[in-house]
Amino acid sequence: MRRAERPMLQLPAPLIWGFILVLLSQLLFHHFSPAQREFSYQPLAKPLRASTYRGIAMGSEKLLGYLLAIRLQLHDSQAGRYFNYNWIDYPVLVEWLEQITRVNPVSEYPMLLASRVYSQTRDKSRLRLMLEFIERNFDHAPQLHWRRLAEASVIAKHQLEDLKLALQLAEKLALQPASTVMPQWARDIRFLLLAELNELESAIAIIEALLQSNAVTDPDEKRFLEEKLSKFQQELFESRLTIEN
Amino acid sequence: MFAQTISLFRYLMLGILSRRLLVLVLVLTVLTMLVGSFFSELAMINGKAIMVALVADFLRYSLGLFALLVITTGVAEDYEFKQFERLLTMPLSRWQYIVAQVLVIASLCLLLVLPVLLVISLYSDWQVGLYWASALWLEIFLLGLLGMLAILSLEKIPLAVCFALAVYLLAKLSGLISQMLAESVRLSDGSLTSRFVDFIFGAILYLVPGLETFAENDVFFGNVDLIEKISVQFSSTVVYALFLIAVCLVDFYRKEFNL
């Protein structure tokens, strides 16, 4: 059975006023408290060394590598709030990605975070750090990371608007030996970028070499290359005509 | 003699089996699967493998601790209720008690890894499930033997559990500790104290199981030779288990009981 209660107005006045005062002071304190006002992005702490993480992992290095990557991925979400990537200290972020890669070298996760998650920043210097990380780590396992390098090349072209860097990344991809299995389109990025840089002659030479070497067997791919070849030849012809006139 | 040992094993086994044990294992398994699913949702790639690996590791440590507590409690009760004195008045040798306890530990580990086999096979393929269940059985069996040795020697559950866990963690973290000691030697310019501590730790490592004695979680992330892994683990577990049983026998035979 519920106990009967006295109406609020029958309570002693000092108690009611005292309660209101205490409530107001709590609200004001909460509103103006420095911790609340600046809440409060917790910066990314520096990572430990990969060898330390390997020791802590107690034999589950790969699992720990993935868990560290997930922890890093969730760093922008703190106490239910999402922070812009501009808050993140990118050099420290790169250190984290490097250490996670060393803890689990056969994981794509750190490269994926770099190319898909942390590349979503408008700050070009930070973006460049991500692309450098991808380029650096691609060399360790080209077969595992060719997708990330292809993405990096596209990011360099469209987000960073640095065609030279995009071409440098695409060339790295295109010059991989045949033992690195990847679809032809990944290698094709190079001549598409060359054409954008108005280096039509180089692009044409690459396509002709590809077609003559019989490296391309897929009919759709062959047709795509032939179309591009005739388009670039036409563009080159027109540009020469313009120069002569 | 064999029949007596088996009877003693059955008697001891009945003492630790209960419905609560089954419920606890089931609750642990379900809880682990929920935690694993949560992480699987967070992961951008390899969600399933991360989940299975996490579930496997969570079950490894929780069931290991659970087995350790059950075994040490069982032996501690034998001390408390003067069971040893009673058993030794019967035509039983001390080694038979140790053998019966070893069989109890082996059977308990088997019961504990059965749900693990089911869960891992369900989320991964059955070969990996079978590997993990077998490897986990070997690991928990070794931890159980360590617990038995600790409780026989120390006679108190908290001390025995702490000792067994300390040895287990020392073995698992030996890489990290060696690295820290090597670093300390380097930073102190090879001071005598640092080198001495490093030497002592190196000597201790000879008495704890190596990392190859434990189940390898990396099997969930790629193609590895499971047969080779389990063979290496099996052989090192056999050597270490025999060593622990020998120490148990020596320690148990040295004990004086007021008959």
Q: Is A112 on the interface with B (CB under 8 A)?
A: yes
d(CA B259, CA B253) in angstroms, rounded, equals 14
| A49–B contact, CB cutoff 8 A | no
Contact between A66 and B46 using a beta-carbon 8 Å cutoff: yes
Q: Which of A51, A108, A109 sits opposite B179 (nearest CB)?
A: A51
Is B100 a domain residue? yes
**Element of type H or E holding A171:** helix A163-174
Contacts of B41 in chain A (CB under 8 A): none
B119-156 confidence digits (pLDDT tens): 999 888 899 999 999 999 999 999 999 999 999 999 89
Give the pLDDT confidence score for residue A35 in this predicted structure.
Answer: 62
Chain A partners of B176 at a C-beta cutoff of 8 Å?
A: 52, 54-56
- Flag whether B199 is in a domain: yes
Strand partners, A77: A82
Q: Which residue of B has its CA nearest to A69?
A: B43
Give yes or no for B66 touching A (CB within 8 A). no
Query: Please, are residues B146 and B164 in contact by the beta-carbon 8 Å criterion?
Result: yes
Q: Helices marked H in chain B — which ranges? A: 2-16, 19-42, 47-80, 83-89, 94-123, 126-154, 157-172, 174-187, 192-205, 226-254
Instruction: Quote the radius of gyration of chain A (alpha carbons, Å).
Output: 29
Model pLDDT, residue B201: 84
DSSP labels, B101-118:
HHHHHHHHHHHHHHHHHH
How does pLDDT run along chain A (245 residues), one tens digit per residue?
566 788 888 888 999 999 999 999 999 988 877 665 556 778 889 999 999 999 899 889 999 999 999 999 998 887 777 778 888 899 999 999 999 999 999 999 999 999 989 998 889 999 999 999 999 999 899 999 999 999 999 899 888 888 889 989 999 988 888 888 888 888 888 888 888 777 777 788 788 877 777 777 777 778 888 888 888 888 888 887 787 77
Number of domains into which chain B is organized: 2
Decide if B197 is inside a domain: yes
Residues B235 and B198 placed together within one structural domain of the fold: no
- Answer yes or no: is B214 within a domain: no
ipTM score here? 0.84
- Contacts for A31-40: CB closer than 8 Å, 24+ residues apart: A39/A79, A39/A81
Are the beta carbons of B173 and A58 separated by less than 8 Å? yes
The answer to whether residue B189 is domain-embedded is: yes
What is the helix (H) or strand (E) element at residue A81, kind and residue range?
strand A81-82
Q: Which two tokens stand for residue A32?
A: 């103006």
Range of the domain at B148: 2-163+224-254
> Which of B32, B35, B38, B45 has the most A C-beta neighbours within 10 Å, making it the best mutation to test the interface with A?
B45
Identify all chain A residues contacting B216, using CB atoms and an 8 Å cutoff: 59
Same domain, B76 and B179: no
- Distance, in angstroms, between B150 CA and closest chain A CA? 22
User: Do B75 and B190 share a domain, yes or no?
Assistant: no
Instruction: Give the pLDDT confidence score for residue B86 in this predicted structure.
Output: 82
Q: Are residues B42 and B98 in the same domain?
A: yes
pTM of the model: 0.79
Residue of chain B minimizing CA distance to A52: B176
Residue A38's pLDDT is what? Answer: 58
pLDDT in tens, A50-87: 999 998 998 899 999 999 999 999 988 877 777 788 88
Instruction: Locate the chain B residue with the closest alpha carbon to A62.
Output: B218
- Model pLDDT, residue A36: 57
Within a 10 A sphere around the Cβ of A100, how many other Cβ atoms?
26
Contact state of A52 with B173 under an 8 Å Cβ cutoff = no
- The answer on B183 and B95 residing in a single domain is no
Tracing tokens 């292809």 back to the chain, one arrives at A150
Digit-by-digit pLDDT tens for chain B (259 residues) are 778 888 888 888 787 777 888 888 888 888 888 888 888 888 888 888 999 999 999 999 999 999 999 999 988 988 888 888 888 788 778 888 899 999 999 999 999 999 999 999 988 889 999 999 999 999 999 999 999 999 999 989 999 999 999 999 999 988 888 888 888 888 887 788 888 888 888 888 888 888 888 998 989 988 888 999 999 999 999 999 999 999 999 988 888 777 6
| B234 and B198 together in one domain | no
Q: Is residue B93 part of a domain?
A: yes
Q: Kindly report the nearest CA distance between residue A62 and chain B, in angstroms.
A: 6
Best probe of the B interface among A49, A66, A106, by most B CBs < 10 A, is A66
Give the pLDDT of residue A213: 74
Q: Both B62 and B189 in a single domain?
A: no
Q: What is the C-alpha to C-alpha distance for residues A174 and A182, in angstroms, rounded to an integer?
A: 10
Q: Does A55 lie at the interface with B, CB-CB under 8 angstroms?
A: yes
Measure A100 CA to nearest chain B CA, in Å.
15
Q: Do the chains contact at B218 and A52, CB–CB below 8 Å?
A: no
Closest Cβ–Cβ partner in B175, B216, B218 for A55: B175
B161 part of contact set with chain A, CB < 8 Å: no
Cβ contacts (< 8 Å) between B57 and chain A: which residues? 60, 63
CA nearest to A74 within chain B: B42
Say if B216 falls within a structural domain.
no
- CB-based contact A66 B50, cutoff 8 Å: yes
Query: Smallest CA–CA separation between B133 and chain A, in Å?
Result: 16
**Same-domain pairing of B31 and B94:** yes
Nearest to B114 by CA among B136, B98, B93: B136
